[in-house]
């Protein structure tokens, strides 16, 4: 993998019904795998979602050299990767609101 390859921005949907404890473990696995792949991807932030069944899902924002790097990271970290979408523009009307901050995958 060429370390000079440009990175693009992606949203990753993880709709897996985790418990809060499972989310913490998933985040630890994600961070460990991200550290091994610093030339391929960077985790920017994660948004936790309340799923209809009472569990948690996430939307994660990453910079990566391509979708393959994201899918491989998810596989290695044992994370779901339900959908990966390239973000082509950002239209910020105001910064993210303050919420309780927690770890997420």
Residue 36's domain is classified under what CATH number?
Answer: 3.30.70.3090
Quick: pLDDT tens for 52-105: 988 999 999 999 999 999 999 999 999 999 999 999 999 999 988 887 655 545
DSSP assignment letter at 74: H
Domain membership of residue 102 (yes or no) is no
User: What pLDDT was estimated at residue 2?
Assistant: 47
Cα separation values, 61 from 31, 41, 52, 53, 54, Å = 13, 11, 22, 24, 23
Q: Give 102 or 37, the one with higher predicted confidence.
A: 37
User: What pLDDT was estimated at residue 34?
Assistant: 96
Domain membership of residue 79 (yes or no) is yes
Which residue, among 6, 9, 15, has the nearest Cα to 62 in the 3D structure?
9
Cβ count within 10 A of residue 58 = 22
Domain membership of residue 98 (yes or no) is no
Domain count, the chain: 1
Domain that holds residue 18: 8-87
Domain membership of residue 37 (yes or no) is yes
5 confidence band (pLDDT: 50, 70, 90): confident
């Amino acid at each position: 993998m060429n370390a000079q390859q440009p990175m693009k921005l992606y949203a990753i949907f993880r709709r897996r019904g985790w418990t809060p404890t499972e989310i913490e473990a998933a985040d630890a696995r994600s961070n460990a795998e991200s550290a091994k792949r610093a030339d391929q991807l960077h985790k920017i932030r994660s948004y936790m979602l309340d799923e209809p069944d009472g569990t948690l899902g996430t939307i994660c924002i990453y910079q990566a050299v391509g979708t393959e790097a994201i899918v491989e990271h998810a596989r290695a970290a044992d994370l779901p990767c339900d959908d990966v979408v390239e973000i082509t523009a950002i239209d910020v009307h105001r910064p993210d609101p303050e919420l309780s901050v927690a770890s997420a995958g």
